[in-house]
Structure 1
């Protein structure tokens, strides 16, 4: 199967030459997501918990669009401007994923696009037909 670009409705339009996600074989590679509303405005400016919740909701929407879901996420990469925000992020992540612990990387960065943007999250998931054991 040739890779297929995914740009689901309900997400802000990509700024630049990229797709929100790409389906390649049994994997879904999701570009870094920011807490942006469909109109491009920032959700939860300077609020790490609100941004994390919004980003995970966007990730869920992308995965559901190809018949997958958050239970099939195998890798997460977090980019934070302030490492103190990891506490709010981890709280939200624990609520969403429960006992499932995808592989993860957390990186502190000097800045992200947009004032008040605290985090960016990218992910790799499998299609729902590909059981994770």
Structure 2
């Protein structure tokens, strides 16, 4: 059964999407950017600070679905500058702790939100009953 999930603490979607979709035991999270509830970029030009906000937002969506970082199976990170990869990886390590995910990093020319340097999309496994 398909279930749309909306994390009310985050800004409303800026397009035709929801924060996550659960299908069976899988949870598909939309790309999370480094924005606050007013859709303003957090962290200025600091990719590490932006990434910490991205992972905070990801955590908010996971919690809305009854999941946590330990449930994430895969992440795709979108960066506008490959030189930011180490700073973004530091925020990822802080968020996931000892949990390791499958991972891909894609360098893009730009992101939808002006000033955003990083966005993360994820897939999680959430056992039935949660």
The two structures have a TM-score, normalised by structure 1, of: 0.91
Unaligned runs of 5+ in 2: none
Q: Which residue does the alignment assign to 2:82?
A: 83
Unaligned runs of 5+ in 1: none
Q: Which residue does the alignment assign to 1:65?
A: 64
Greater displacement, 76-85 / 42-51: 42-51
Q: Within the alignment, does 1:26 sit opposite 2:25 as a pair?
A: yes
Q: Which residue does the alignment assign to 2:51?
A: 52
Greater displacement, 121-130 / 57-66: 121-130
Q: What SS does the aligned partner of 2:65 have?
A: coil
Q: What SS does the aligned partner of 1:125 have?
A: strand
Aligned length: 129
The two structures have a TM-score, normalised by structure 2, of: 0.92
Tell me if the contact between 1:68 and 1:128 (Cα under 8 Å) persists in the aligned partners.
Answer: no
Aligned-residue Cα RMSD (Å) equals 1.5
